[in-house]
Chains A and B, each alone.
Chain A
Amino acid sequence: ATPRDQLVIGMNMNNLLSLDPAGATGNDVLGVVANLYDYLVELDPHDLSKVHPALAERWEIAPDGMSLTLTLRGDARFQSGRALTAADAAWSLQRVLKLNLAMASPWKSYGFSAGNAERLIQAVDARTLRITLPEPTDPKMVLYTLGTSVSAAILDRDTVLSHEKNGDLGAAWLLTHAAGSGPYALTEWRAKDAMLLDRYDAYWRGPAKLRRVVMRHVPESLSLRFMISRGDVDLAAGMAGPDIEALRHDASAVVQPVLRGTSYYVAVSMKDAKFADKRVRLALRKLIDYDGINKAIMPHYGVAHQRPVMIGLAATLPDPGYKLDVPAAKKLLAEAGYPNGFRTTIKVLSDPPMINIATALQGTLAQAGIEASIQSGTGNQVYGAMRDRKFEIVVGRGGGGVEPHPHANLRALVYNPDNRDAAKLTNFQGWRTSFHSQEINRLIEQAVRERDPDTQNAMYREVQQLYDSEVGAIQPISQMLETVVLSKRVHGYVGHPSATTHLRDVYKD
């Protein structure tokens, strides 16, 4: 059994590669960074549209919507003992842009760049941070980014700079170290083995309830399941569906699902002549067994959802009710000139549930005569091919979704301002699939600038309808559920839909 004052988390840590807020990708790192560092604001885990103060006591959006002014608390201290000031906050955000690592991308999408960062992100005084937007956008989006993105963590500038090498702004050091003000400090990290976080006693909110958080690398779901039921792990993340299902009936464990803003989808490349034909895409839409997949495969992985905008936002339209309809699909295929189907390939991550969705899809495609072979691989291989626009079908997962805003989803899945190969808009899945609709693009651009919420929502609804009628290249099937299994002994754990789960209030019997 685990000690009372420690939280032991079992998870697969293979994708935990870097802790640098400027460059760390992946979901796993969000939960770590959220506890090592503080953000300026936090989103309410129960209602994402509620923004709570964190390091920033309050904030103001300029009436023209072109700047944000945040006022920081005066009592926050870094784990090094230094007082946290607006200069640290400004430097942290500027650093992200200057380094231009992976996490710079949301900021770049607002028009920030390494060149304008120092001018637009400024510490007005020790407690005031002003962020000026380079181009019109919805300032709420920026606020959400400040509350959810790893890149918004506030770093201890002096400590980081003391480890700077060759002007890297401490990037090398921060890969494996942390210098924050969060409730926990990084004590030890053995990659792919264990990570120990110890309580920072002078935390400004008051010390966390548990003395230590231990993350342990347990790559095999079944092993995790045994460990949970034997009480050797308090919290298991990333388990396989069947094991979660089994633990649901285990008296010693609680299953806690959290809906994330990301979707499981089937994407086709419209560079491919077959899929450029709308009828083929429509046929494909009718060849997915949404019900079957969501019932047989997706429990604990996701909930049925067929729209590009995530569930729970005001702008989200109800599901259009797509269904498996082989005869209709066959008819469409025949119209498109493929009465006997065709051959194609499905690229897919070899992890569940993606590989399972792909297998199920393969089965239903076959019913319409489409012979699809599956090529499974690592994320790197699958998304690499997608970025190079070299694929026919990908079964994947994505769609922004950290910020609770339709724009985040649409930007990730639908938006494609420049469809030329040379544009290399590899960060937009719209570009990757070569889906390009002037009208949708225009609406998305307009909506994010619209200051009136009702008009904005109406525009987003219109986008969704257009996407439905134009038969977009990416067909969402489910919205992702992140299911953790908790030991009954653990209390106060609230999984965060943006993955920034705070552990400071977690305690155990």
Chain B
Amino acid sequence: MITVNELALSFGSGGQRNKVLNEVGFSVKEGEVFGLVGESGSGKSTVLRCLAGLYSHWEGEMAIAGQPLGRKIDRERCRLMQMVFQDPYGSLHPRHTVDTALSEPLKIHKMDNIGERVRQMLLKVGLNESFRYRYPHQMSGGQRQRVAIARALILEPRILLLDEPTSALDVSVQAEILNLLAELRARDGLTYILVTHDLGVVVHLCDRVAVMQQGRIVDTLDSASLSNGGATHPYTRSLVDATRSYSREMAAV
């Protein structure tokens, strides 16, 4: 479904040139949930943004369903692929109601039956009619994230790029969102690329996972091998250890 090859990207120019992505390559099968983990600043979000088309100065190749991706966001790409952002507070326009946010893409793509589609979509993400005319500040973080997911799904894309969709949320809310994502995938056969720093989330939701370090993919493995000790790459191991290690260390004290 998605193939990324030798993807490279730099920011800045001259002396401040900063190579953020280096020969990144992976492929994702249709219907798969692909995880992307790594420490802060390793370039996870950047990969997603390249795929989505938010950056245009990348080098390398990216293709979806065999079709190479261009550098511009075109209508087709919008219909195929959407993204959910990490921060539920920043990804919704503070002065737009839920209804405005959800109907806008429909209007842009000149789709019909807007009211009904919005209603359906809200139900799908577990929000009832009463949320339709609320502003972001009138909703909790979890509810906002549901709206963001609804907005991403309203154009009926095949691929969803998820950039740490739950890391700003409480555990209890995180569980709801993760369940929702799992449910949507099961129902509509979506393909996800999920960026996270929580290995627990990876194990819970992903089929395969790539580990990033300083702009490179250093390891790609089945997510099951994280829990059963199958990770061999030293960096992956250190991540797994860190997730558990404070318990060991503390126990030692």
Query: Touching in the complex, A and B, CB below 8 A?
Result: no
Q: Name A's B-contacting residues (CB within 8 A).
A: none
Q: Name B's A-contacting residues (CB within 8 A).
A: none
